[in-house]
Amino acid sequence: MPAVATDMTTHIKTYVGLMSGTSMDGIDAALVSFVQGALTLHALRTLPYPPDLRARLERLSQNQGTPDEIGEVDHQLGHLFGEAASQVIESSGIPLTDIVAIGSHGQTVRHQPKGISRFSMQLGDPNMIAERTGITTIADFRRRDMAAGGEGAPLVPAFHRAFFGSLTEDRCIINIGGIANITWLPHKDPEQASGFDTGPGNALMDAWCHDQTGRHFDEEGRWASKGQVDEALLADMLTDGYFTAPVPKSTGKEKFNLSWIRTMLARHPGTSAVDVQRTLLELSAQTIAQQLPTASEGKLYICGGGVNNLALMDTLAAACPQYDIESTQALGLDPQWVEAAAFAWLAKQTVEASSGNLPKVTGARGKRILGALYQP
C-alpha cells in the first residue's frame, strides 16, 4: 500500500481537492501531493455552509427550485469553493506556482443515473474557482463516465484501489456520508476491485433528526441510542427495491429523503420519533452489512462522517461480526479527508491524461479521462 503522510512544508507539485458530499454541510479542502506512490496531506480546511444556503440546497435536491435559483446557487457556491481553496492554500504557505490544479467535485443537487436522459448535476461554478484562485480548475468529473454508459458514481473507488489496496489481505472500504458506498479490494486480483452505493448512510438519520429536533445530525447517535428498533417498520423499509437492485448502482437524496421516511411512516402510524431514529440507524447498518461481499475473511475500513456516529459503528460491527472493523486512520489517512484527497488525485489523473473511473464500478464502457479544465 502506498504510504500516507502529513507534512506542512514542501516545495513539490501539489493539488487541491474540494469536496462537498450528500450531507450538504460544507466544503472540505485538502492540499495534497503525490510523489513516488506516497500521498502527503499538506493543509486541510473545512468551510461550513451558511444555514440559508444549506436550506436552499436541500430544496433544490428535492426539485423545489427555479432555474433562477439554480443559477444563483451555482454562482454563490462557486465563490465559496474558490474561498475554500484559497484558505487551504494560504494556510499551507505553499506558493501558487507549486499548485498544479484544483479538483472540485461541486455540490450534487440531482443524480439520475438511469433512463435515456441520465444526468448528474453538481453546482459550484468552476469558472469562479479558477478566477478567484488563478489556478487551473478541474470539475464536472461525473458526466464523462455517464456519456460512456456509466452511472458517474461512485468515483472514489478508483482512489481507494490506488491507495488502500493490499497484496496480502482483502479489504473493504466503506464510505458513510449522506449516502453510503463500499469498495471491495481483493488482494489476489486488483483489477477485480468493485464498488457501489449501498443506500442511505447518514441522509435519512440527519433528515429525521433535523425535522424532529432542529439539529442537523444526531451527535454520536445519542438520540437513536435512546430508542428501540421497530422491526415491522424496518422490514418494510428493507423492501425498497434499491437494496436488492443489481450493480452498477448509485443513488442520492433525490430518493432517500424525508419524503421517503414519511411514506414509510404512513404505513406504520404511532411509531415514536426516537424509535424512528433508531430504526433508521439500523437500516443504514443493515443495508451496508447485507450488501458486503460474501468473503470468509478480510477487513473493513470506514471513512466519512458516519465514523463519528458511535452507535452506528457499534451496530455495524454487530451486523457483520465476521469482519474486523477499523477506520481508514489505520491505513494512514484520516477518515474525514479521504474524499477531498480523492478529488485532488482525480485532478492529477486528468492533468496526466490518465483515467479516473473504474468501469466495473460505474458500468461505463471503458476507462475514461474525467473532468473538464477551466484555465485561470
Q: Are 135 and 16 in contact (CB under 8 A)?
A: yes
Q: DSSP assignment, residue 336?
A: G
Please, which residues bridge with residue 327 across strands? 302
Same domain for 73 and 142? yes
What total of structural domains would you count in the chain?
Answer: 2
Same domain for 140 and 165? no
Half-sphere exposure (Cβ direction) of 100: Cα atoms closer than 13 Å: 19
Distances (CA, A) of 293 to 55, 173, 297: 37, 12, 10
Sequence-separated (6 or more) residues with CB below 8 Å from residue 274: 223, 224, 226, 227
CATH code (residue 202): 3.30.420.40
Structure confidence at residue 11 (pLDDT)? 66
Same domain for 247 and 297? yes
Q: Are 3 and 38 in contact (CB under 8 A)?
A: yes
Closest CA to 56 of 67, 69, 71: 69
Strands (E), the chain: 4-6, 14-20, 26-35, 38-48, 99-112, 119-123, 137-139, 171-176, 179-185, 194-200, 299-303, 324-327, 372-374
Q: DSSP assignment, residue 258?
A: H
Same domain for 84 and 210? no
Gap between the Cα atoms of 209 and 219, Å rounded = 10
Structure confidence at residue 240 (pLDDT)? 98
Same domain for 62 and 134? yes
Same domain for 294 and 224? yes
Per-residue pLDDT of the chain (376 residues; tens, 9 = 90+): 444 444 444 468 999 999 998 889 999 999 999 998 889 999 999 999 999 999 999 999 999 999 999 999 999 999 999 999 999 999 999 999 999 999 999 999 999 999 889 999 999 999 999 999 999 999 999 999 999 999 999 999 999 999 999 999 999 999 999 999 999 999 888 888 999 999 999 999 999 999 999 999 999 999 999 999 999 999 999 999 999 999 999 999 999 999 999 999 999 999 999 999 999 999 999 999 999 987 667 899 999 999 999 999 999 999 999 888 999 999 999 999 999 999 999 999 999 999 999 999 999 999 999 999 999 9
Same domain for 281 and 369? no
Backbone angles phi, psi at 288, to 5 degrees: -70, -50
Q: The domain containing residue 370 runs over which residues?
A: 4-152+337-374
Same domain for 73 and 118? yes
At 220, is the secondary structure helix, strand, or coil? helix
Please, which residues bridge with residue 103 across strands? 17, 138
Same domain for 209 and 344? no
3-state secondary structure 288-318: HHHCCCCCCCCEEEEECHHHHCHHHHHHHHH
Same domain for 78 and 21? yes
Q: DSSP assignment, residue 370?
A: -
Same domain for 184 and 323? yes
10 grid coordinates: 514542501
Same domain for 198 and 294? yes
Gap between the Cα atoms of 156 and 174, Å rounded = 11
The H or E element spanning position 361 is helix 359-362
Sequence-separated (6 or more) residues with CB below 8 Å from residue 305: 21, 23, 176, 177, 202, 217, 336
